[in-house]
Amino acid sequence: MSLLRTKSIEQSIADTDEPEYQLKKSLSAVDLTVFGVGVVIGAGIFTLTGRAAHNVAGPSIVLSFVIAAICCALAAMCYAEFASTVPVSGSAYTFSYASLGEIFAWIIGWDLILEMFLGASVVAQGWSAYFSSFLGKFGIVLPPAFSYGPNRVIDVPAIVLVLVLGFLVTLGIKESLRVNLALVGLKLFIVLFVIFAGIGFISPANYTPFVPDAVPTAGSSGFSWTQPLLQLLTGAVPSTFGVGGVLAGAALVFFAYIGFDVVATTAEETKNPQRDLPIGIIASLAICTVLYCAVALVVTGMVPYDQLDPSAALANAFAYHGQAWMATLISAGAVAGLTTVVLTLMIGATRLIFAMCRDALLPMGLAKVHPKYRTPWLITVVVTVVVALVAGLTPIGVLEEMVNIGTLSAFVLVSIGVVVLRRKRPDLKRSFKVPLSPWLPIASALICGYLMLNLSVETWVRFVGWLAIGFIIYFAYSRSHSRLETGVGIRPDMLKAMEEGHAPQNPDDLR
């Protein structure tokens, strides 16, 4: 069946040496870890922590972070096995193409486009909020119609940020990571400052009750678009806080962890992907989990959860204790920190679309790399324009859950893909293996699926609509133009081997 045709790992690796699509290999394990920390530490600490604690979980938000981290750790191991086995741009899209088949690869690629485009746009809006707050502390007030806020017409700071970062991404990934490294250093300093400076303002009374009693939401007697899908399916009364609030909080703060998977999109630009990719993916997730939990404990200990400011919890927690200068410092750190998140997600989006264009599921002409910078510059222009428009014009606060559901669906398919590829290609050399397979990958898929059910009904409706658009594009264009369909650029011996259900056994010989 053409819908389930797979692209062999050997052909995927061979494609990376085509001169017109060849990327520059320059990244190390340290670069990848910085890359991962740069994208993961951002909106979760500076915005989501306070909002989730205030609205759904209270002090137990730290448990939400732990649950989300466990989910991500299982998925991270699956990503690490795939990335070290298939060191090709495209992340989960490429992995699915090799294991589950073309239709699943398209679905996961389409979902990841949703994650990275909307993720970059959401964080650009958050950056604009902190940027305006930072300028306000020096008496500079931006016009409400052209900055972050409920009365805005267009968010100019967010658009300018995206355009500048788009230019930087075009210059090259190593150049982008130099800027990223400096900003990540500043961001980590601010985060550690919050933890150690905030300890002195903690009041143990703020941790009681640690898990607040469940509270029915307003209008919970009937159907609500904002209630979790799981509550709708089970008939449970919509509520916040309590155990349900902890789980709902985990589904919400999951947004804070998106990004470690973006490390896998740089596989083609890594010097030693078999060794460095697993290190970068797992190390960045471990570092970020410790920092998230520490910040959540400090912030909810500094201020009663019901008095936290959902929009800028960290800065205002110190302002609550009369430390205005600390609030200014944190706002500056947030501006730097959120910049790295937008930058990294834009890099991830360009590499994902690059892989899909090279496979001709999207127009191949877009995948040509710049002759000097060796970056997919045409795709970068497209990504920059789309992200800038979404960030500048989309209403505030409607995109976060869409990012989560796109990411979680990708995690489900990657987890399943590990099990499938172990059975289909046991001969492949795997420098990293998920322990206790297939049980841990299956657990990863089940936990991610459960978190998806804790997202709102309206998010699911939008997600189904996004998938419907994706299927229309696939059947109208991608299926007939696919390189597996046309054979364009695929070596005859490789094409014959794939048609017979097997492929050459020595991928290193194809380099």
Is residue 445 situated within a structural domain?
no
Instruction: Assess whether pLDDT exceeds 60 at residue 275.
Output: yes
How far the first Cα of the chain sits from its last, in Å, is: 30
- Which CA distances in Å does 51 have to 199, 305, 386, 456? 20, 9, 27, 16
Task: Read off the pLDDT band of 509 (50, 70, 90).
Answer: very low
Segment 353-367 shows an average pLDDT of 88
pLDDT surpassing 70 at residue 39: yes
CATH number, position 335: 1.20.1740.10
Query: DSSP secondary-structure letter at 221?
Result: T
pLDDT at 464 over 80: yes
User: Is 85 inside a domain boundary?
Assistant: yes
Give the mean model confidence (pLDDT) for residues 174-188.
Answer: 77
Establish if 511 belongs to a structural domain. no
Whether 510 has a pLDDT exceeding 60, the answer reads no
Q: What is the rounded average pLDDT for all residues in the chain?
A: 81
Structure confidence by residue, pLDDT tens digits, 183-197: 888 888 888 888 898
- For the segment 236-255, the average pLDDT, to the nearest whole number, is 78
> Is residue 183 in some structural domain?
yes
Task: Give pLDDT, residue 454.
Answer: 79
Q: Return the pLDDT at 502.
A: 47
Find the mean pLDDT for residues 375-389: 91
Q: Is residue 510 part of a domain?
A: no
- Within its chain, how far is the Cα of 160 from the centroid? 22
Query: Which domain, by its residues, includes 281?
Result: 2-226+237-438+458-500
Residues 6 or more apart in contact with residue 292 via CB below 8 angstroms: 44, 45, 49, 65, 69, 253, 256
Does residue 450 lie in a domain region? Answer: no
Could you tell me what percent of the chain has a pLDDT over 90? 13
pLDDT at 59 over 80: yes
pTM over 0.85: no
How many domains does the chain fold into?
Answer: 1
Maximum mean pLDDT: which of 59-73, 230-244, 398-412: 59-73
**Has residue 14 been placed in a domain?**
yes
Please give the Cα distance from 420 to 418 (Å, whole number).
6
Residue 447 in any domain: the answer is no
Candidate from 33-42, 61-70, 203-212, 378-387 with smallest mean pLDDT: 33-42
Lowest mean pLDDT of 10-19, 50-59, 156-165, 407-416, name the range.
Answer: 10-19
- Residue 505: predicted pLDDT: 40
Question: pLDDT tens-digit profile of 133-160?
Answer: 788 878 888 888 888 777 778 889 999 9
